[in-house]
Chain A
Amino acid sequence: MQMNLLQAVNNALDLAMASQSKMICFGEDVGHFGGVFRATSGLQEKYGRERCFNTPLCEQGIIGFANGLAAQGSVAVAEIQFGDYIFPAFDQIVNESAKFRYRSGNEFNVGGLTIRTPYGGGIAGGLYHSQSPEAYFTHTPGLKVVVPRNPYQAKGLLLAAIRDPNPVLFLEPKRIYRASVGEVPEGDYELPLGKAELVREGSDVTLLAWGAQMEAIEKAAELAQAEGISCEIIDLRSLQPWDADTVCDSVIKTGRLVVNHEAPRTSGFGAEIVATVQERCFLHLESPITRVTGLDTPFPLVHEAEYMPDHLKTFEAIKQAVRF
C-alpha cells in the first residue's frame, strides 16, 4: 500500500511491538501525542502506557534509561526528538551503548537498543533543527548507523535495526518524511544492515549518497544523462558498518566517484569513503574522487538552498569528474 516515510516508520514500530512483547518505545512527546512528527501515533492507544510513553525532557536521561532497559533484556526503541538534540546524550551513546558488550567481556549488552531520530535540513529549521550528526557516531566502534531513503527502505531497515543484536542509531531524513511516498508491503520484512544498494547501473561515474540526498544525486544523474553521461547510483543505507565492497566494485567499473552528503565536509563520512576507495581502487581511478557536501559552517536558516549539496552542485561535480 502507499505510505509516506513517517507512516512506514509508524508501521514498522507497530509490527515490531506486535511481534515482541518486550519492545518498548519512548521519548519526548511520543505517547498520546505521537511525537512531534507523529511517528509513534496510535502506539500508546494500542499497546498501553507502559510500552509507549513520554519521558521527561532530558536526552541523557532517555538514553541512560534506554541502556539500562536494553541491558535488562527489553527491546528499547528511544526517540530523540531532533538529531540536533542528541548531543546531551552523547556520553551515554558513545561511552555506554557502544561499549557495553565490549567492556563487560559480553557479560552484558544493550543489543536491544535502537535510537531513532529525525535529522538533516530542508525544513527551514535553522541551526538547531537541521544538523546531520552521523559522522560523530560512525567514529565509534560498537554502534551501527543506518539511514533510509524512502518508505520501503525505512520500514525494512527499521525492523532490521530493532531486531539487530547491536545498538543501532537510525537516522530518519525528516525533509522527506511526508514528501517521500511509495509502495510499502503491509507485512513484515527486513532489509540487510551493512549492505549498500545499487540503485541504478551506469558506466561513466559512480554517485554515492544516503537518506534524503539520494534525491539530489538521482536528479543530477538525469541531468547528466541528457548530456550523454551514464551514472551508476549507490545508496549506502548503512554507514557503520559500511559496504566498501559494493562501492569499490562500482568504482573499479566506472573509474570515477562522486560522494554527496549534507553534513559539513571536514571529517564528514565522505572523507572515510574517499580514503578507503583510493586505498583499494587507486589504479582504477580515471579522475580524483570528489565530494559534494554541506559547508564547514553551522547549518544556515536563510541561505539553506545555497548551502545544500543539491543536484546542480552534484551535476557540476559529475561533469568535472568525467572531463578531468
Chain B
Amino acid sequence: MTEAGYTTAARTSEFAFVAQESLAIPMFSVLAQDGTACCGADLSVVEQTVALRIYQAMLFTRVLDERMVAAQRQGRISFYLTSTGEEAASVASAAALSDQDMLMAQYREQGALALRGFSSEQFMNQLFSNELDLGKGRQMPVHYGCKALHYMTVSSPLATQIPQAVGYAYGQKLAAGEHVTLCYFGEGAASEGDFHAALNFAAVLRAPVIFFCRNNGYAISTPAEEQYAGDGIAARGVGYGLQTIRVDGNDALAVYLATQKARAYAIEHCAPVLIEAMSYRLGAHSTSDDPSGYRSKDEEQKWREYDPLVRLRAWLYRQQWWSEAEDKALDESLRAEMLAAMKVAEKIPKPKLRELVTDVYDTPSVELRRQQEDLEQHLKRYPEHYPRTAGRA
C-alpha cells in the first residue's frame, strides 16, 4: 500500500475478511420479456428512431447469422460465428455511441458493425475472401474491419484488442476530439493477461475507454463457473478503480441507457468505465463447435425464453412503433438481400496475387520483391496447379 493509502484507510480492530457476497453488484434492467417496463424504469427517454435502428440492426444480424451458418453447412464458406442471443449487447451499445467513436471488437460483434452501416455486400465480401474484401482475403471469415466506420479490424488472438483500446482512447484524449473507444470482449478473454493490463493502464492513465464484457456463459466449452471465481467481471472493474455497471445483456434498452451514461462519464471525467452485460450464447461457439457435448438442450431452451429480439419487438409493438406486418416484411426482405449478396460475392474473384506481399511493410522490401518474382516464375511454370491465381498476377 502506498503512503497515501496507508494514511487514508479507515482503521478497525474488528477482524473480518472482505467477502465477495458483501460487494455483490446488481444487474441494471429496464425491460421485461413481455415488452413492459420493469423495475420501475422510465422508458420515455428512448427515442423511436433509436429504438427502431437498434431493432432493425438486431434483426439484420439474426438473419445474417442464420444464412451464413447455412452457407457454411453447404460448404460455401469455411467458417462462421453467430451472435445469436447476444444481439442486444453489441447493437444497443454501439447505438449509444457517436458514429465516430472507435469500436474494437472481439469476433462476435457483427451487430455493432451492422448498426454502423456495414452492408450485406461488405459482410459477404469479407466472408467469401474476395477481391473486394477490405482485409484483402488475409484473415479467416468474421475478422471484419472498416476504417470508414471506425471499426478496428478483428484479430484472432484473444484479448489483444483490450490494451490497444486503452492506447487508442489515450490518443483520442490528447487529440481532444471528444471521442471514446469502446472495446468488446467475452468473459473468457477477461482471463487473459491483456485484460488485466488494460484495466490497470486505463484507470491509471485516465483513458476515455468503455470496456464492454459480453458475459455469455461459455468460452467455447468452458462454462463461466470454470472461468472465474468471485462476482463476475464487473467486480474486477471495481478492483481496478473503474466506474462499473452490470447490465442485463438481453435487454437492449438497458444496454443502450447504460452505455449512454458510460460514454458521458468517460468524456466528462476522461476516465474508463466497465460494463458487464450478462447474456447467453444461444448458438455454438463457431461452426467448428458442437455445444451438445457440453451443455443440455434444457439449458438452451430456458435461455431462448430471454431472446433479446423477442423482448425488444414486444416493446416496440406496445409502443405501436412497429407492427407484425412490418416485421414480417423486413425479415423477408433481409433474407432476399442476404441471398442476393451472397450469390454476387461468391462469384467475385479472389484478391490478386500481388496482394500477398503488399502491406507487410508500407512498401515491400527488396527481399520480399525477390521472393515474389521467384513465386511468379514458378506459377507460370505450373499454372494448372494454382487455379486461384492463374493469369491474375
Contacts and interface: CB of A to CB of B under 8 A. Distances in A.
B366 A241 contact: yes
Interface in B116-167: 133-136, 138-139, 143, 145-147, 152-153, 155, 157, 160, 162-167
A58 B362 contact: no
Interface residues of B, number: 49
Interface in B357-372: 358-362, 365-368
A60 B174 contact: no
B172 interface: yes
B360 A142 contact: yes
A71 interface: yes
A29 to B, nearest CB: 14
Given A65-B166, A72-B167, A101-B360, A56 B204 contact: yes
Contacts of B104: 68
Contact of B160 (A58, A64, A142): A64
Interface stretch (B190-198, B271-279, B327-335): B190-198
Nearest to A110: B164
A263 to B, nearest CB: 21
Contact of A70 (B155, B167, B204, B361): B167
Nearest to B149: A107
A24 B145 contact: no
Given A102-B138, A107-B146, A166-B361, A55 B205 contact: yes
Contacts of A245: 366
A154 B99 CA distance: 43
Contact of B133 (A24, A58, A105, A142): A105
Nearest to A61: B197
Interface in A58-102: 58, 60-61, 63-74, 76, 88, 91-92, 95-96, 99-102
Given A24-B174, A104-B153, A68 B362 contact: no
A65 B164 contact: yes
A237 B197 CA distance: 33
A100 B153 CA distance: 8
A68 B153 contact: no
B136, B143, B181: residue with the most chain A Cβ atoms closer than 10 Å: B136
B359 A102 contact: yes
Contact of A73 (B155, B171, B359): B171
Contacts of B28: none
A107 B153 CA distance: 8
A224 interface: no
Nearest to B162: A64
Nearest to B146: A107
B227 interface: no
Interface in A131-157: 141-142, 144
Chain A: number of interface residues, binned into ranges: 35 or more
B169 interface: yes
A277 B209 CA distance: 50
A104, A106, A144: residue with the most chain B Cβ atoms closer than 10 Å: A104
A106 B175 CA distance: 22
Contacts of A63: 163
A282 interface: no
A111 B360 CA distance: 11
A103 B143 contact: yes
Contact of B165 (A50, A68, A96): A68
Nearest to B351: A105
A74 B201 contact: no
A301 interface: no
Contacts of B152: 71, 104, 108
Nearest to B181: A68
Given A101-B360, A102-B359, A105-B359, A60 B193 contact: yes
A217 to B, nearest CB: 24
B153 A66 contact: no
B170 interface: yes
A65 B170 contact: yes
A119 interface: no
B172 A72 contact: yes
B167 A58 contact: no
A161 to B, nearest CB: 13
B200 interface: yes
A277 to B, nearest CB: 14
B359 A106 contact: yes
Given A74-B174, A103-B138, A61 B360 contact: no
Contacts of A22: 171, 174
Contact of A92 (B133, B163, B362): B163
Interface in B309-368: 355, 358-362, 365-368
Contacts of A106: 136, 358-359
A108 B171 CA distance: 15
Contacts of B360: 101-102, 141-142
A104 B355 CA distance: 12
Nearest to A55: B201
Nearest to A99: B155
B168 interface: yes
A68 B359 contact: no
Closest 7 CB pairs of A and B: A64-B163, A68-B167, A61-B197, A72-B171, A68-B164, A104-B153, A69-B167
12 contacts: A22-B174, A61-B163, A68-B163, A74-B171, A96-B155, A103-B135, A103-B143, A104-B134, A106-B359, A107-B135, A108-B153, A144-B361
Interface of B: 102, 104, 133-136, 138-139, 143, 145-147, 152-153, 155, 157, 160, 162-172, 174-175, 181, 193-194, 197-198, 200-201, 204-205, 355, 358-362, 365-368
Interface of A: 22, 24, 50-51, 53, 55-56, 58, 60-61, 63-74, 76, 88, 91-92, 95-96, 99-109, 111, 141-142, 144, 165-166, 194, 241, 244-245
Given A64-B164, A105-B145, 8 more contacts: A22-B171, A51-B174, A55-B204, A61-B194, A64-B162, A105-B135, A105-B136, A241-B365
